[in-house]
Amino acid sequence: MTEEEIILHHGENEPEFINAFSPPVYQTSNFRFQTVDAMRHALQSEKEISVYSRGNNPTVRLFEKKMASLEKTEDALAFSSGIAAITCSILNSVKAGDHIIAIEEVYGWTKVFFDQYLPGFGITTSYFNGNDLSELNSIIQANTKLIYLESPSSWFFSIQDLKSISEIARSRNIRTICDNSFASPLGQNPSQFGIDLIVHSASKYLGGHSDLVGGVVCGPSEILSGLFKEEYMNLGAIMSPNTAWLLIRGLRTLSIRLNHLEKTRETISAFLLQHPKIEGIIHPFEPDHPNHELAKRQMRLGGGLVSVFLKTNDPAQIEKFCNSLKQFTLAVSWGGHESLVFPAVSLMVKQEHSGLPINMIRLYVGLDDPRDLINDLDNALSLGFL
């Protein structure tokens, strides 16, 4: 199946959809049965048969089936947020006394979960830089049960060698999870490199219109049926049918949106690279990125994010630049239609450093015309420093 075939047709045209092109939103908590026998049968497979919407809802299931196909995995489970998909997948992989290895540059709230929440349950986490495989080998312990990756990572977009790491993990009976939000399922399929579970914040590219929060985990049926019975049904961080419907709609334009972003990001990057007030940019598809070769091998698309270093370390000048932008709006997150700017200085409180270089800003190009974005950057850059 091509990606378009999956997005547009897979799982649709069911007889119960009464010939509708757009699948119905099954806005119901409960489902009825005709006989005790049918009810008994359904109760034994709550993941596949609709009994109650905390378990199975047809609209949510349709989104899950599309995601499993797009990520080339056997199954998928949708959650109320990306971080719920992440924390439930982690909880399913470890128990008291176990050890986790994660990349240093992991998403902020995932790191909070490792550092502040899990230690209370006797689960510890060590970090490695993501590229040094001998460092990885040296910190694996007898109780290491999970290696957690994010490729590309936030801000620096560092890339991990998914195939080599999954081989190391498999040989030691360690599970692997990769956060694939930044690459998207059209840009990279970690399952093809041997990664066990793939997690996404659906709030970003998958939804694509800044109108929902959701998450999804994709992987083998065996792991996901355990995850369903444990974390999914017990913690109940499920996706609503309405959110699933918005995601099915968002997915229909995923390929068009991502291919548009790709061209815009390339145009904006070229403009920034030649600008005298820009010190440099970071993107894995730029030849000077430390993981460029690996990125080209693993990823088909590079997305709409690029990190930029301004040629000034004066916070007032950096703030003036960001405040002057009109097309790029100050905001966290990314993946929607709107273009965004997220400066490292916004993370500084009372001169306290965030760990990121002070002159770093993260740009997200949305669906704006690249000419408008370039004019906007050009104007803001003309106003200050130098």
Ligand X SMILES: *Cc1c(COP(=O)(O)O)cnc(C)c1O
Which residues would be at the binding site for ligand X (CB under 6 A)? 81-83, 107, 150, 154, 179, 181-182, 201, 203-204, 213, 215
Distance set, CA 308 to CA 114, 165, 238, 356 (Å): 29, 29, 36, 12
Nearer to ligand X, 201 or 291 (CB): 201
Torsion sign over Cα 310, 354, 299, 128: positive
- Sequence-distant (6+) residues with CB within 8 A of 70 are 3, 6, 7, 185, 186, 251
CB of 331 to ligand X, least distance (A): 12
User: Least distance to ligand X from the beta carbon of 154, Å?
Assistant: 6
Among residues 171, 163, 203, 179, the alpha carbon closest in space to that of 102 is found at 179
Q: How far is the CB of 179 from ligand X (least distance, A)?
A: 5
300 in Cβ contact with 359 (< 8 Å): no
Q: How near is the Cβ of 37 to ligand X at its closest, in Å? A: 40
Closer residue to ligand X in complex, CB, 51/202 = 202
Q: Distance of CA 381 to CAs 12, 26, 320, 372, Å?
A: 49, 50, 9, 14
**Smaller CB distance to ligand X: residue 53 or 81?**
81
145, two tokens: 């049960």
How far is it, in rounded angstroms, from Cα 9 to Cα 15?
A: 14
Q: By C-beta, is 154 or 188 nearer to ligand X?
A: 154
Q: How far is the CB of 189 from ligand X (least distance, A)?
A: 16
What is the distance between the alpha carbons of residues 289 and 266, in angstroms, rounded to a whole number? Answer: 14
Locate all alpha helices (DSSP H) within 159-313, ordered by sequence.
162-171, 221-227, 233-235, 241-252, 254-273, 292-298
Q: How far is the CB of 103 from ligand X (least distance, A)?
A: 11
Q: How far is the CB of 63 from ligand X (least distance, A)?
A: 14
Q: Distance between alpha carbon 384 and the CA centroid of its chain, in Å?
A: 35
Which CB sits closer to ligand X, 150 or 196? Answer: 150
Which is closer to ligand X, CB of 213 or CB of 235? 213
Cβ proximity to ligand X, 62 vs 84, nearer residue: 84
